[in-house]
């Protein structure tokens, strides 16, 4: 079994050796059943970091083009991308009810504890709304990536992903580069017979748990009827997934451009490899929507910072913690810059840059410490023709709904939606 070696020299050698692969659109080795089209599809990528950033050194204080106002210390690793990134200030996720579960409602806008009669209730995330339109023709309508080591104590809330289905149920995320690797690429040890057997086993389980809902429902109280509806919605989601797997069963996956990743990847190396595979997933049109809940805690550990992400968020009373928080900011910003580098290097089906057909949003549900107002919202990519680029936009109204931001981005990639979550409209200041 091949192992993906992760030291810096080897990573550089790998990227250098595969540069030609990534510069050619839709290689034979990356072939899918979808023919390369003259006009590339639009894609959306949502990157979430959990706890926020250092208030004093990350956030710009004036509006304008970054080329004129400059970048803050925390944003300085993005200097080479300063004409392509946009930051929007005065956005607040009106549904967020607690800083310790920052990512739970980051893409949904739901007040998860504000529904009468329910202890917890989330709604659909914007990536899944986008996937309904953008992902209809792909093997994976969306890909949700996560990290089991970055749960509630690290500003993410659940141990799953940023994605929630139409019933407000959490979608499990692929937690390791190996999981994503075998999801995207053909497994030489997996025969069609074994694949069919797995599908039959899953279907058998559904047959066992399926109930005669109509008859049972009439005997239940209203709260129990709601619970049963949620149950059946979950079953239907699983059935749709099985149907999709069966439909794609005879269409070969692309071949992997490198060997299986090593088991113990963490931190920056883990994230960069995930980013590399996201690029391949988009290039091969395996998916057009990706969410990635970044493993902030393992980034800290890899930097030699021996603090929990939650504890580090209380940096204000300690100079060493403040310094560590600033170092964390720059490292995460460097990683975002790396991903933008990869999007710009990769070629799309018509020879254009993959970057030119994507919107890659990056931010968190928390500003600094435990502050839920005026959250960081940064995006890049040419996927929206009318989006302003290269500047810091300060919206005239404080607490403009974050849902307005998501609605604007979705509309810019052609998602036919007029309302999302608690949105009150689009953000006109983001458009030229």
Q: What is the pLDDT of residues 315-340, one digit of tens each?
A: 888 999 999 999 999 999 999 999 99
Q: With respect to residue 341, please indicate whether it lies within any of the assigned structural domains.
A: yes
120 and 216 co-located in one domain:
no
**Rounded to 5 degrees, what angle do the CA atoms 317, 323, 328 make?**
115
In the block, tokens 């799309």 appear at 348
Q: With respect to residue 2, please indicate whether it lies within any of the assigned structural domains.
A: no
344 and 298 co-located in one domain:
yes
User: What per-residue confidence (pLDDT) applies to 36?
Assistant: 47
410 and 295 co-located in one domain:
yes
- Of the candidates 268, 407, 355, the one whose C-alpha atom is nearest the C-alpha of residue 42 is 355
302 and 417 co-located in one domain:
yes
197 and 343 co-located in one domain:
no
Beta strands in 242-306 (DSSP E): 289-293
157 and 201 co-located in one domain:
no
120 and 195 co-located in one domain:
no
Is the pLDDT reported for residue 357 higher than 90?
Answer: yes
Give me the mean pLDDT over the 249-254 stretch. 78
- Of the candidates 343, 316, 333, 163, the one whose C-alpha atom is nearest the C-alpha of residue 237 is 163
Q: Which domain holds residue 63?
A: 27-164+172-180+255-430
Give me the mean pLDDT over the 141-165 stretch. 76
Structure tokens at 302: 């890899």
The mean of the pLDDT values for the chain is 83
96 and 199 co-located in one domain:
no
Where among 213, 233, 251 does a domain terminate?
Answer: 251
Distance, in Å, from the CA atom of 46 to the CA atom of 350, rounded to the nearest integer, reads 24
Nearest-10 Cα torsion for 429, 83, 59, 93: 40
Q: Helices (H) and strands (E) in the chain — how many of each?
A: 14, 10
Per DSSP, 101 falls in state G
Where among 235, 251, 267 does a domain terminate?
Answer: 251
88 and 209 co-located in one domain:
no
User: What per-residue confidence (pLDDT) applies to 149?
Assistant: 61
Domain count, the chain: 2
146 and 272 co-located in one domain:
yes
Question: 78-82, 112-116, 165-169, 424-428 — which is least confidently predicted?
Answer: 112-116
105 and 77 co-located in one domain:
yes
Question: 244-248, 331-335, 360-364 — which is least confidently predicted?
Answer: 244-248
142 and 203 co-located in one domain:
no
């Amino acid at each position: 079994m091949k192992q993906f070696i992760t030291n810096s020299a080897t990573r550089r050698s790998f990227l250098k050796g595969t540069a030609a692969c990534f510069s050619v659109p839709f290689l034979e080795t990356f072939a899918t059943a979808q023919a390369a089209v003259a006009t590339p599809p639009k894609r959306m990528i949502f990157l979430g970091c959990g706890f926020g950033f250092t208030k004093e050194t990350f956030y710009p204080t004036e509006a304008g083009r970054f080329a004129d106002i400059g970048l803050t210390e925390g944003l300085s690793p993005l200097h080479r991308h300063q004409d392509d990134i946009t930051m929007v200030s005065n956005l607040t996720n009106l549904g967020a009810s607690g800083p310790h579960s920052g990512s739970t409602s980051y893409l949904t806008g739901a007040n998860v504890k504000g529904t009468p009669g329910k202890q917890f209730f989330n709604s659909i995330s914007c990536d899944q709304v986008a996937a309904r339109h953008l992902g209809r023709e792909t093997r994976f309508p969306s890909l949700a990536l996560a990290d089991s080591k970055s749960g509630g104590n690290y500003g993410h809330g659940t141990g799953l992903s940023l994605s929630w289905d139409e019933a407000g149920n959490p979608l499990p995320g692929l937690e390791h580069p190996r999981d994503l690797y075998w999801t995207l690429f053909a497994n030489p040890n997996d025969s069609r017979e074994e694949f069919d057997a797995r599908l039959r086993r899953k279907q058998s389980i559904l047959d066992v748990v399926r109930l005669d809902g109509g008859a049972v429902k009439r005997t239940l109280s209203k709260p129990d009827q709601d619970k049963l509806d949620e149950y059946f919605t979950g079953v239907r989601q699983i059935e749709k997934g099985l149907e999709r797997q069966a439909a794609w069963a005879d269409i070969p996956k692309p071949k992997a451009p490198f060997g299986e990743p090593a088991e113990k990847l963490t931190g920056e190396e883990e994230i960069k490899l995930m980013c590399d595979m996201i690029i391949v997933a988009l290039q091969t049109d395996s998916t057009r929507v990706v969410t990635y809940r970044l493993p902030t805690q393992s980034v800290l550990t890899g930097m030699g910072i021996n603090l929990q992400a939650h504890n580090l968020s209380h940096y204000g009373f300690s100079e060493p913690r403040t310094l560590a928080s600033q170092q964390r900011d720059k490292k995460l910003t460097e990683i975002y810059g790396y991903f933008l580098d990869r999007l710009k290097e990769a070629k799309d089906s018509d020879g254009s840059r993959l970057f030119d057909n994507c919107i890659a949003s990056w931010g968190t549900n928390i500003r600094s410490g435990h502050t839920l107002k005026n959250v960081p919202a940064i995006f890049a990519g040419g996927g929206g023709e009318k989006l302003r680029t290269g500047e810091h936009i300060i919206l005239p109204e404080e607490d403009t709904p974050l849902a307005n931001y998501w609605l604007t981005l979705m509309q810019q990639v052609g998602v036919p939606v007029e309302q999302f979550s608690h949105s009150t409209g689009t953000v006109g200041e983001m458009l030229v």
